[in-house]
């Protein structure tokens, strides 16, 4: 029999797909990639895969690698898709493909299967990553196969199938929105969230954060140290990338930090509505931003900011493993060489308030910046500076006068 590796989450879609692939004649090797999903029972998911007929089922730990090698470089870019989304799901997908292909090579599987729909972004992220790593890979995407769609035209039929087979899943006809979890964030979409008249943050049962209204009435202080653009310490304690994200998820989560509700433009062309929570990464974006404001050259930061939307789009669309991204990641690693410092925040009911910041490599010079008398900045120098800057405008004003 042919065999395939299935990127298995234990959720609604992959639970059904596991059985369908077997009906299609495949031996299925289920791979649950552990990315720190905060609300999932890993052993129960593994057992479910075995109970449902998987030839093998395993957990592969990708948590540290995702935080260190994927999320933190994107963080250094300050990359947010359409200025809001912190790319938690987008970052995870190329790593899932990589780890599943490693298993496929080990077990000699003929194909790589995933549960992403033909309407969404994840199909792009899974497949573009897989083909970049193994140009000969056979990708099975059941949602793009008409036979599968006829059997399961919507989530109602998927849920009914799981109920019939006694397969436990979170989704239900009463609350049919879909969620995707990892230690960076949780995303929520579909179901009642497709109605823009519904308040998303009131509908969703969030798994990482309390609401700002329910957060403590006293501000909580947190200090983050950054070394060469990499967050390294929380409240004086040295942390790995995973430990950093985990600790800040706890701290930010209990203070209501990091919830968003947005309508975004998918890579395939449609607009969709998503609700997200990312407490730890939200804090880290602000922390790195405050340290780089002290330490990085103006023109360098402005160049980075011109490029960060390109990085966000490529990550969102699934182009992680390509020459452009290789070059961009090399650029940002070099750009962050002097980005070392410390920032202290006060977290209060969803707000992140800067309390203090410092750096041994700070370019901020109070003697130059002061608005008081004296200092080392000679204001007479500005006269010539402005005459030179204004020269093109003066010439244009003589040639083509403007009405005023």
What number of CA atoms fall less than 13 Å from residue 241's CA on the CB side? Answer: 19
The β-bridge relationship of strands 178-181 and 186-189 is antiparallel
- Check 15, 63, 122, 357 and give the catalytic one: 122
Annotate 171-192 with three-state secondary structure: CCCCCCCEEEECCCCEEEECHH
Q: Is the Cβ–Cβ distance between 353 and 345 less than 8 Å?
A: yes
Q: What are 356's strand-pairing partners?
A: 344
Burial of 98 (0-12, 13-18, 19+ CB in 10 A): buried
Q: Does 122 qualify as catalytic in the annotation?
A: yes
Q: In b/e form, how buried is each residue of 201-239, taking b as 16+ CB within 10 angstroms?
A: eebbebbbbbeeeebeeeeeebbbbbeebbbbebeeeeb
Q: Please report, to the nearest 10 degrees, the dihedral formed by the alpha carbons of residues 325, 327, 332, 337 taken in order.
A: 150
SS3 state at 87:
coil
**Active site (annotated) includes residue 187:** no
- Residue 4 in contact with residue 29, Cβ under 8 Å? yes
Return the closest-CA partner of residue 186 out of 260, 107, 273, 285.
260
Catalytic residue chosen out of the listed positions 90, 178, 179, 359: 178
Given the residues 9, 15, 93, 359, the one annotated as active site: 93
**If we measure between CA atoms, which residue out of 366, 369, 221, 364 comes closest to residue 293?**
364
Residue 56 among the catalytic residues? no
Active site residue 178: yes
Active site residues: 13, 93, 122, 178
């Amino acid at each position: 029999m042919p065999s395939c590796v299935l990127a298995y989450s234990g959720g609604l879609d992959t639970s059904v797909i596991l059985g369908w692939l077997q009906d299609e004649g495949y031996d299925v090797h289920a791979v649950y990639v552990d990315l720190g999903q905060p609300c999932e029972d890993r052993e129960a998911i593994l057992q479910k895969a075995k109970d449902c007929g998987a030839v093998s089922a395993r957990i592969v730990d990708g948590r540290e690698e995702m935080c260190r090698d994927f999320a933190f470089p994107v963080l250094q870019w300050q990359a947010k898709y359409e200025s809001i989304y912190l790319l938690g799901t987008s970052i995870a997908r190329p790593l899932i493909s990589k780890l599943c292909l490693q298993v496929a090579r080990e077990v000699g599987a003929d194909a790589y299967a995933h549960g992403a729909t033909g309407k969404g972004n994840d199909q792009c992220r899974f497949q573009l990553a897989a083909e970049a790593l193994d140009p000969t890979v056979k990708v099975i995407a059941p949602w793009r196969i008409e036979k599968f769609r006829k059997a399961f035209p919507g989530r109602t039929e998927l849920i009914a199938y799981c109920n019939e087979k006694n397969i436990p899943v979170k989704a239900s006809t009463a609350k049919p929105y879909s969620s995707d979890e990892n230690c960076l964030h949780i995303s929520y979409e579909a179901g009642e969230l497709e109605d823009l008249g519904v308040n998303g943050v009131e509908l969703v049962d969030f798994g990482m954060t309390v609401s700002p209204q329910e957060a403590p009435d006293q501000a909580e202080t947190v200090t983050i140290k950054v070394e060469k653009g990499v967050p390294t310490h929380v409240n004086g304690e040295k942390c790995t990338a995973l430990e950093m994200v985990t600790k800040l998820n706890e701290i930010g989560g209990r203070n209501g930090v990091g919830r968003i509700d947005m309508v975004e433009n998918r890579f395939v062309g449609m607009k969709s509505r998503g609700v997200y929570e990312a407490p730890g990464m939200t804090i880290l974006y602000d922390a790195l931003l405050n340290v780089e404001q002290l330490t990085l050259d103006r023109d360098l930061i402005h160049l980075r900011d011109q490029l960060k939307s390109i990085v966000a789009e490529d990550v969102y669309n699934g182009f992680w493993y390509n020459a452009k991204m290789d070059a961009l990641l090399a650029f940002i690693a070099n750009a962050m060489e002097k980005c070392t410092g410390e920032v202290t925040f006060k977290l209060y009911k969803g707000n992140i308030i800067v309390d203090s910041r410092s750096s041994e490599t700070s370019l901020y010079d109070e003697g130059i910046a002061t608005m008081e008398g004296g200092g080392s900045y000679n204001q007479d120098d500005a006269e010539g500076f402005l005459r030179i800057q204004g020269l093109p405008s003066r010439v244009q004003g003589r040639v083509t006068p403007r009405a005023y």
